[in-house]
Amino acid sequence: MDDRVQTLTQLTTPAVVIDLGKVERNIRRHQDYADRHGLKLRPHIKTHKLPQIAAMQLRGGAIGVTCQKVSEAEAMVAGTPEIKDVLITYNILGAEKLDRLAALAKKVKLSAVADNETVVAGLSQRFATEPAPLSVLVECDTGAHRCGVATPEDAAALAQVIAESPGLVFGGLMTYPPPDGAATVQSFMTRAKALIEAKGIAVPVITSGGTPSMAKAGDAPVTTEYRAGTYVYNDRSLVARGACGWDDCALTVLATVVSVPSANRAIIDAGSKTLTSDLLGLPDYGHVLGRDDIRIDQLSEEHGRLVSDGPIGLEVGDKIRIVPNHVCVVSNMVDQVYVTAADEANAAGKKWDVWPVVARGRIT
């Protein structure tokens, strides 16, 4: 793999290409929104997994970053002196992960979450002998029905357990709401906050998240902090929701047509190993820029099938650019991405750099 600067037309495909001009614009727009609504922004690094872009987000005004797994946080902190404050929004279990968490807590201001007493007990046991306590937030289920305590009463009870646990301090409340869940976030968190404060325990942070909900984050003013990831690149799912336009999509997959077996079908060299099978409710596997008539109706691991009701109008060797359905998972498929510092990424002769995706594949 050539790691020198290349022009777009020279890139070996499939290639994930990122327009840093659009990234900058997306960061600014969402930071402005957060600032206007008095929300601190704590971007989720899962979308890019790149220290360089985390640093851009922090320079833009973010107060820290969100990671989902300990190993993600390790990779990001190792590569980014700008990262000084990390929230890991995950129930962390097991001696090996707890040791790594303790090591990480010596390098940055670190917080984690819990939605059950088993996780709290493990964190407490590990951090009781550490020089500084770990901040632990209670994860609340505000309708996504994934993790989280089910009621404000349960949240208050677990907050008290945390506050009374050696080695821990209660850090606040965290939720990952369903899209358009602002009203539920507001009512759940307002009630939980009151119950916890009634116990004499302060609630320093109430953090919500998700790019799809962010435009309505102001409707949950009890929230103090917001975690969004996808906004930094945007993707087809967000275009479909009306959250942005194609021109706001900073990450595209460059692919080459390798076969045109019939008049209305073409095959490209990007399959599920690049685009993934994530549909996110969409009818097919990605949007071909400039070709609204084309559907990517089938992926195998290394092939994508493009079909059109009319002539496909592509020749073997042609290059196309695809906006993926779900951009975060695409970042996880590749060892490196190609970036340009300027907008207009598809201009002829534009020069590119190569960045390794250092937090890719960090699942533990």
Task: Catalog residues that contact a second copy under the rule CB under 8 A.
Answer: 1-2, 10, 12-15, 46, 68-69, 71, 90-91, 93-94, 96-97, 115-116, 118-119, 141, 145-150, 256, 258-262, 265, 267, 269-270, 272-274, 276-279, 298, 300-303, 305, 315-317, 328-329, 332-335, 361, 363-364
Distance, in Å, from the CA atom of 274 to the CA atom of 15, rounded to the nearest integer, reads 8
Single-letter amino acid code for the residue at 295: R
Bridge partners (DSSP) of residue 110 are 86
With respect to a second copy, which residue has the nearer C-beta, 26 or 230?
230
Non-local (6+) Cβ contacts of 199 within 8 A are 156, 159, 160, 163
Among the listed residues 237, 135, 223, the one whose alpha carbon sits nearest the alpha carbon of residue 177: 223
Other C-beta atoms within 10 Å of 188: how many? Answer: 27
Check whether the bond before 14 is cis (ω within 30° of 0). Answer: yes
Smallest distance, Å, CB 166 to a second copy?
20
With respect to a second copy, which residue has the nearer C-beta, 24 or 115?
115
Tokens of 105: 């807590």
With respect to a second copy, which residue has the nearer C-beta, 261 or 311?
261
Smallest distance, Å, CB 250 to a second copy?
19
Single-letter amino acid code for the residue at 143: G
With respect to a second copy, which residue has the nearer C-beta, 60 or 270?
270
Smallest distance, Å, CB 221 to a second copy?
26
One DSSP character per residue, 155-178 reads HHHHHHHHHTSTTEEEEEEEE-PP
With respect to a second copy, which residue has the nearer C-beta, 22 or 69?
69
Smallest distance, Å, CB 98 to a second copy?
11
Smallest distance, Å, CB 189 to a second copy?
17
With respect to a second copy, which residue has the nearer C-beta, 31 or 337?
337
Single-letter amino acid code for the residue at 290: G
Smallest distance, Å, CB 13 to a second copy?
7
Non-local (6+) Cβ contacts of 13 within 8 A are 254, 255, 256, 269, 270, 319
